[in-house]
Amino acid sequence: MNIVTDINSWVQFRKSVQNKTIGFIPTMGNLHAGHLSLCRRARGKNDITVVSIFINPYQFDQAEDFKQYQLAQDLTQDQTLLESAGIDVLFLPTAEMLYQDNYEFQIIETAESTILEGAHRPGHFTGVLTIVLKLCNLIMPTRAYFGEKDYQQYLLVKKMVQALFLPIEIIACKTVRDSDGLAYSSRNTRLTLEERKQAALFAEILRSGQNALQVEKILLQLGFAVEYVADCWGRRLAAIKLGNVRLIDNIEIK
């Protein structure tokens, strides 16, 4: 696996593979089975697979959440996982490289980013869309891969790519779940043992067949702090908190 740590080196590498298809997976590290499923999907369709690891400071609405992501970072472990997954290039930019403009230029969506996650995390999607656009402009992928767990994020990235005429195919990949049904997330590792057991009920109740109001009521009765349960885009989406850990999930409504 080729590890690239500066933009100039990446630009030179990108010129050398102009005639090859590139699959791209942007991540914030602390990789898990969900990320690896994206890697497998990308490898199966592209000549070269690129993964970036960058904890984007501008998509966090809570300073403590950003700090926890930084504390959980283990580049050695992530590198080992990516090598085992057969990834061709790991791109490791810094904030100084990517934000030479000091975040003066931002990508703002004014409709679907204002509800659900956008309503509860002000500025989050502006940070997400801005960094995804920067990374896509650098990587110039043929296809970029996003997990359906962050379904609203996937929709907004796809919408941005279409609106700005970027020649990139945005691929949605199904949510990968642990054996008890909980969606894999980097945040899961911050749950206590008791919270982790309770978290499995989150996915179970979401899939229970109850309507959204009933699901919210049951989650509250079980001790979850519920931010929202809503039916939108053919999905049921929800966000809850267990202790200090915030989790999101969604299921397709059939």
**134 found inside a domain:** yes
Q: How far apart are CA 162 and CA 168, in angstroms?
A: 9
Residue 12 above 90 pLDDT? Answer: yes
Catalytic entry in 32, 35, 120, 124 = 35
Dihedral, CA of residue 214, residue 118, residue 25 and residue 146, to nearest 10: 40
**Quick one: pLDDT band at residue 90, thresholds 50, 70, 90?**
very high
184-238, pLDDT tens digit by residue?
Answer: 999 999 999 999 999 999 999 999 999 999 999 999 999 999 999 999 999 999 9
- Taking Cα atoms as reference points, which of 32, 47, 44, 132 lies closest to residue 82? 32
DSSP letters spanning 11-29: HHHHHHTTTS-EEEEEE-S
Q: Kindly state the average pLDDT of the residues 59-74.
A: 93
Give the start-end residues of each E strand in the chain.
2-4, 22-27, 48-53, 89-91, 143-147, 169-173, 225-232, 235-242, 245-252
**Quick one: pLDDT band at residue 239, thresholds 50, 70, 90?**
very high
- Of 63-72, 101-110, 125-134, 244-253, give the lowest mean pLDDT range: 63-72
- Across the chain, mean pLDDT equals 97
Q: Kindly state the average pLDDT of the residues 241-252.
A: 96
The verdict on 85 and 162 lying in the same domain is yes
The verdict on 65 and 159 lying in the same domain is yes
- Written as six digits, the tokens of 204 are 């179970």
What are the phi and psi torsion angles at 136 (to 5°)?
Answer: -65, -35
CB under 8 Å to 68, separation ≥6 — which residues?
A: 190
Q: How far apart are CA 49 and CA 72, in angstroms?
A: 24
Q: How far apart are CA 135 and CA 74, in angstroms?
A: 21
Number of domains making up the chain: 2
The verdict on 123 and 190 lying in the same domain is no
The verdict on 82 and 196 lying in the same domain is no
Neighbours of 171 (CB within 10 A): 18
**Quick one: pLDDT band at residue 5, thresholds 50, 70, 90?**
very high
The verdict on 164 and 53 lying in the same domain is yes
pLDDT for residue 254: 80
Q: How far apart are CA 66 and CA 76, in angstroms?
A: 20
Q: Kindly state the average pLDDT of the residues 112-118.
A: 98
Any idea which residue has 């050695």 for tokens? 76
**Quick one: pLDDT band at residue 34, thresholds 50, 70, 90?**
very high
User: What range does the domain containing 66 cover?
Assistant: 2-173
Q: Kindly state the average pLDDT of the residues 40-62.
A: 97
124-174, pLDDT tens digit by residue?
Answer: 999 999 999 999 999 999 999 999 999 999 999 999 999 999 999 999 999
pLDDT for residue 166: 98
> At 217, which CATH number?
3.30.1300.10
- Written as six digits, the tokens of 181 are 């049904």
Query: Is 120 a known active-site residue?
Result: no
